Structure 1
Amino acid sequence: MLAPLEHSFLRHDCHANVLWTEKEREQAVRGHVTTDINDLRTQLQSQYQDSVKAACETYLRIPANIIFSQVNKMRMTYLRRYTLLGTTVTAQGEGRWKLYQLFIPYLLKGIKDHGTIYQTIKVVFADLFHWIHDVIELQLPEKYELLPEVVSILPGNNLSPIFPFLSLVINLNVFTKGHQDSKDKDFCLVLPIDNFQGGALVMVETGLVLEIRQVDFAILRSCDIMHFNLQYQEIDGQIM
């Protein structure tokens, strides 16, 4: 259960979003830094009341060493638009032709425009994608069963290279404002690549600040959880 926060105004007011995100970043930086796994358990117990974040302004920072012991982007996905929304049709509306081929999943234009890059990514990260698949299937079996519902029925018997996920978004040197991904189905996986300092993933409703690093990944309900990342400094290059 998540704290009942209302963030709809942030989607429509860019300036308000910037100010709100910066304020939340400051609070996240001041959050309690857990020292070990036992401290993490203790802090998690006090962080929530009836499974809801006790105080909106509090954050709990989880360093990378605890995890280890235990905006430029290319969007590559299948789009799916199965049906029309009947609620948008008026009684006085005139009939129009519809291109029904658009109502089945189809490849986004970005894959066609950047075909070579797409194929290279599939080859270079194939082992990584397989590893993520195996970890999710082992650690989150119930959630794993939900994800392939659409991915397993792509036209032409196609199989997503990032199965059980449908979309792959590569953000280069990203520094995000607070946002929710309303079109994400069920879950989103965040995977940082290469060396950097800072850049922790902040999840507002849960009050958690994850300092994930290379070989880490985090899964969250991005459609429900407001999230952003802290400031970071490149060591080499960065892909998030």
Structure 2
Amino acid sequence: MGGELYSDKSDRPGYSYLAWHCSYYNRYAEKFAGHDAPKGVHPNFIFKTDKSRVNHTQRVPHASKEVEDNPKEAAMLAEMIHLITIIVEHHIKQFLPEDYVEMQIYVSRLPLNERSLAYPFGGFVVNIGVTTRGHRDRFDKKFCVIIPAGCWTGGELCLFETGFVFRLHPWDILIFPSCDVTHFNLHYEGVRTSIVLHSDKYGDQWVRDGNGWLPNDNEYDSGDEDNV
């Protein structure tokens, strides 16, 4: 990411920031196609009527475009944050054991035995110069983890409904329910980047019945129909 890290002000006109996604998603997959498909036929041999081409990769979880286009760079980033993910995993396992089991089951069943780049999460995002308006990450499962880095002033992270304002220091670790709480950053000045660990909540559908391509006999059930 040469040339992307530099001192900046987020309150200047036309400001934008870079987000680099290294994650496995199921939200874009054909989640119910398998329910109506002929039984005993491999998904790769099933096509849509009047369609000469079908993207069969959309029937299973798949890596983000950044990972597919830049596998070496993605692996390098994953290696750089590996010790951080181990620390985060340890704390979630200790303080949120039930959530940990539910989080890791999706990445333990990725197609072709793929391993997540941020286990037990489905992946991570590198945000450079990040500042956001109030929003909820409605596709996140349960919670996300934010780890800032750099040298900056301002940029506090605000959780609206709770009234909390966090003045995070480099390499602090914050875990919060990003799908349920409205959050945003205040303006900052300096060099600021962050690593966000997260999982796609639509991975529940893959765990439940393989997006309809497997018999619905899995023991796991999140109990949340909104995730389907």
2:31 is aligned with 1:83: yes
Contact 1:181 1:223 in 2 (8 A): yes
Contact 1:75 1:170 in 2 (8 A): yes
Q: CA deviation at 1:135?
A: 1.7
Output the aligned Cα RMSD: 2.3
Structure 1 residues without counterparts, runs of 5 or longer? 1-21, 23-70, 86-93
- 2:90 is paired with a residue whose SS is helix
Cα distance in 2 for partners of 1:186, 1:167 equals: 14
Q: Deviations over 1:83-131 (max 9, x none)?
A: 138xxxxxxxx95555443111111221122223212112222111211
- 2:193 is paired with a residue whose SS is coil
Larger RCO of the pair (alpha carbons < 8 Å, separation 6+): 2
2:193 is aligned with 1:239: yes
Q: Which one of 120, 130, 133 corresponds to residue 89 of structure 2?
A: 133
Cα distance in 2 for partners of 1:135, 1:82 equals: 34
Q: Deviations over 1:52-98 (max 9, x none)?
A: xxxxxxxxxxxxxxxxxxx111111112125138xxxxxxxx95555
AA partner of residue 83 (structure 2): D
* Equivalent residue runs for 1:175-214 within 5 Å: 175-214=131-170
2:54 is aligned with 1:108: no
Identity rate, percent: 29
Q: CA deviation at 1:229?
A: 0.8
TM-score by length of 1: 0.61
Cα distance in 2 for partners of 1:96, 1:151 equals: 35
Greater percentage in helix = 1
- 1:117 is paired with a residue whose SS is helix
Q: Number of paired residues?
A: 162
Structure 2 residues without counterparts, runs of 5 or longer? 1-10, 12-16, 34-47, 195-228
AA partner of residue 115 (structure 1): P
Cα distance in 2 for partners of 1:115, 1:228 equals: 30
Cα distance in 2 for partners of 1:224, 1:95 equals: 40
Cα distance in 2 for partners of 1:109, 1:129 equals: 22
Q: CA deviation at 1:193?
A: 1.3
Which residue in the other structure is 1:230 paired with?
Answer: 186
TM-score by length of 2: 0.64
Which residue in the other structure is 2:174 paired with?
Answer: 218
Give the greater-gyration-radius structure (CA).
1
Q: Which one of 9, 20, 45 corresponds to residue 74 of structure 1?
A: 20
Which residue in the other structure is 2:117 paired with?
Answer: 161
Q: Which one of 97, 107, 118 corresponds to residue 151 of structure 1?
A: 107
